[in-house]
Structure 1
Amino acid sequence: MAVPEGPAGEPDPGLFGPASVTWQLHSDPVMWIAGVRALYLQALHPRAVRGVMQNSDFRTDAWGRLLRTAAFVGTVTYGATPAAERAGARVRGIHRRLRAVDPATGDSYRVDEPALLLWVHCAEIDSYLHVARRSGLTLSDAHADAYVREQRTAARLVGLDPDAVPGDTAALAAYFARVAPELAATPDSADVDAFLQRPPVGPFLVPARNLLWSRIAGLAYGTLPQAAHRLYGRPAPPAPVVDRRLRATANILRAVPDGVRWRLPPQNILRAMERLGPASRPSPSKLARAAAILDESGDKATGNGYG
């Protein structure tokens, strides 16, 4: 199989490459918990969640939707540039055709309105970053800002103007402050909450759901802002308790060898390493080592040079 090449004949690093925060961060298994948190957060925007519920098979094929989302993120992060661009074009094409109807007014609107795409994007990257840091990963503020800035590329793929997307954590926090008055509890958000607490599974998988999934969903819910807990109408444990449980779960997930986790479909990381060589192996520990070195030297972290 031919190896995709970049402009200079070198193997194509993709849209991010091994020198990015995104490359390292997205390899951590707590991203699954972060992804569930993102769903909880996204469902609190009435127009955004209505677009999902009216146009998708979320209720009947929620597992498939989750896996397709994970495959998209993996392709965009680790795939060669042509594959990532094709994935983005497919998503834009699907969204371009979809409409939702506001039941209160009867008005129809496009699900790819920039404001709705921006909400989904910001809820996702905030969740990835938030869960990663609370789970024990050492990320400097400069690395966090670099991650938010890098994700403007992912925003472009789904149809957003990168210049209109937050480029650092301060801008991301300001965005959430602006959009907070638009958030609300709705029947659609209640449906999402009910599914995430007890997703339908076959009888033989009920014990695994009760043992494993309930812990993941509970942790994801616990890491939401208090305002989100109030909207959902369910309390969460105190933040120190959530952090302790999250770190313990993260340690268990991280104890599973990378070679085992990465062999599960769709194997984006393994294919990236085949394309770029073993030095491209991602690990969030590279970010921690870079932050420690920079702290010891007294230099300001730049978010580069940790690949």
Structure 2
Amino acid sequence: MSDADPGLFGPDSVTWHLHGDPMMWVAGVRALYLQALHPRAVRGVMENSDFRKDAWGRLLRTADFVGTISYGTTEAAEKAGARVRRIHSRLKATDPATGERYGVDEPDLLLWVHCAEIDSYLQVARRSGLPLSDAQADRYIEEHRESARLVGLDPEAVPATAARLTEYFRTTRPLLVAGPDARDVDDFLRRPPTPALLVPARELLWRRVANLAYNALPPFAHELYGRPAPPPQRVTRQLAATGRLLRCIPSRVRWQLPPGHILKAMARLGPDTRPAPYKLRRQEAILNGPGGAQQSNGGDSTRWRKPG
């Protein structure tokens, strides 16, 4: 590897290898479904963006942000985070229950969006066959206290392990509801506006992605939306089959899609930094060390930078 800036995470991170997987698109749709169940969080989106007309643009902008913080330089990641914080600081929304105005950058709302996203990436990756151990799952969650910092959260207030993430969802569950805004998101994701010529492709491809993302939600989300899903074991088999199919597409072909964050990172750091699932197995052997003693230094609060 060269001496070039590895960015916030770098090739030795779980994030580096997980975020290069094609199943992240399914995970992103799952995250939207989950995020929409928080009435105040989804209201902020509906009041401050033209979601119904520009949902594709929103998805692509989110993907670009995730790609930038995952594979871009430290400077690029910090600038992307500052831009998000600046935009959020100006936005207000109306509480659907009380009618009061609030800022969309309230920590509890940012935390919900963050946790729903990280949980979705992790769950879809693991259930679709990516070889992540429990220790690596914890390491991934801990790594993304850094991305939480970028959007304005205190990293110390963000779950750092799978157990703490599960506990966060348990305590947040009473706040969640499939209100009118969540129904709008659900309707869009199931039947997005599409030019007439592309309707067959929507039915053939997109509907399957949206259904799989919905099916991959936790049971409490299915209960709130009121639409049943197949048994979890069958969903896991569906995710694994889809993962095998998508991973058959050569990575160099997949990574050509704009804006090409991974290829730019490899050009900056060298071809040996190529994200690959097999490196996760190798990484786990190093993480455990001789005799299986875990060598991770996760949770060191001295690592966190101050937002620029």
Class of the TM-score when normalised by the shorter of the 2 chains: over 0.9
Aligned to 2:203: 210
DSSP 3-state at the match of 1:112: coil
Aligned to 1:3: none
Counterpart pick for 2:73 among 68, 80, 103: 80
Deviations 1:230-251 (A, max 9, x none): 1001000111211111111111
Superposed displacement of residue 10, structure 1: 2.5
> For the Cα contact (< 8 Å) 1:27–1:284, is it kept in 2?
no
5+ residue gaps, structure 2, are 298-308
DSSP 3-state at the match of 1:255: coil
Aligned to 1:4: none
What pairs up with 1:176-255 in 2 under 5 angstroms? 176-255=169-248
Deviations 1:120-147 (A, max 9, x none): 0000000000011100111111100100
Matched, 1:174 2:176: no
Tell me how far apart the structure 2 counterparts of residues 75 and 296 of structure 1 sit (CA, whole Å).
Answer: 31
What pairs up with 1:47-196 in 2 under 5 angstroms? 47-196=40-189
Deviations 1:41-74 (A, max 9, x none): 0000011001111111111100000000000000
Superposed displacement of residue 170, structure 1: 1.1
After TM superposition, the structure 1 stretch with the greater mean CA deviation from structure 2, 288-297 or 158-167, is 288-297
Matched, 1:24 2:13: no
Deviations 1:202-233 (A, max 9, x none): 11111111111111111111111111101001
Aligned to 1:284: 277
What letter corresponds to residue 71 of structure 2 in structure 1?
Answer: Y
What do you get for the CA RMSD once the two structures are aligned? 1.7
Tell me how far apart the structure 2 counterparts of residues 252 and 80 of structure 1 sit (CA, whole Å).
Answer: 31
> For the Cα contact (< 8 Å) 1:294–1:301, is it kept in 2?
yes
Superposed displacement of residue 288, structure 1: 2.6
Deviations 1:268-287 (A, max 9, x none): 00000010001111112211
Tell me how far apart the structure 2 counterparts of residues 72 and 236 of structure 1 sit (CA, whole Å).
Answer: 31
What letter corresponds to residue 12 of structure 1 in structure 2?
Answer: D
Tell me how far apart the structure 1 counterparts of residues 25 and 213 of structure 2 sit (CA, whole Å).
Answer: 9
What TM-score results when the alignment is normalised by the length of structure 2? Answer: 0.93
Tell me how far apart the structure 2 counterparts of residues 103 and 20 of structure 1 sit (CA, whole Å).
Answer: 40
Identity of aligned residues (%): 67
DSSP 3-state at the match of 2:93: strand
Aligned to 1:267: 260
What letter corresponds to residue 133 of structure 2 in structure 1?
Answer: S
For residues 164 and 296 of structure 1, do their structure 2 counterparts lie closer, same or farther at Cα, with a shift above 3 Å needed?
closer
What letter corresponds to residue 292 of structure 2 in structure 1?
Answer: D
> For the Cα contact (< 8 Å) 1:138–1:291, is it kept in 2?
no
What letter corresponds to residue 276 of structure 1 in structure 2?
Answer: L
Tell me how far apart the structure 1 counterparts of residues 242 and 79 of structure 2 sit (CA, whole Å).
Answer: 35
Aligned to 2:5: 12
What letter corresponds to residue 23 of structure 1 in structure 2?
Answer: W
What letter corresponds to residue 211 of structure 2 in structure 1?
Answer: G
Superposed displacement of residue 295, structure 1: 7.8
For residues 275 and 180 of structure 1, do their structure 2 counterparts lie closer, same or farther at Cα, with a shift above 3 Å needed?
same
Matched, 1:38 2:65: no
What letter corresponds to residue 49 of structure 1 in structure 2?
Answer: V
For residues 40 and 302 of structure 1, do their structure 2 counterparts lie closer, same or farther at Cα, with a shift above 3 Å needed?
farther
For residues 294 and 162 of structure 1, do their structure 2 counterparts lie closer, same or farther at Cα, with a shift above 3 Å needed?
closer
> For the Cα contact (< 8 Å) 1:121–1:155, is it kept in 2?
yes
> For the Cα contact (< 8 Å) 1:140–1:301, is it kept in 2?
no
Tell me how far apart the structure 1 counterparts of residues 217 and 295 of structure 2 sit (CA, whole Å).
Answer: 29
Superposed displacement of residue 302, structure 1: 4.0
Deviations 1:252-297 (A, max 9, x none): 1100001100011010000000100011111122113443687896
What TM-score results when the alignment is normalised by the length of structure 1? Answer: 0.93
Deviations 1:137-182 (A, max 9, x none): 1111110010000000000000001111111111111111110110
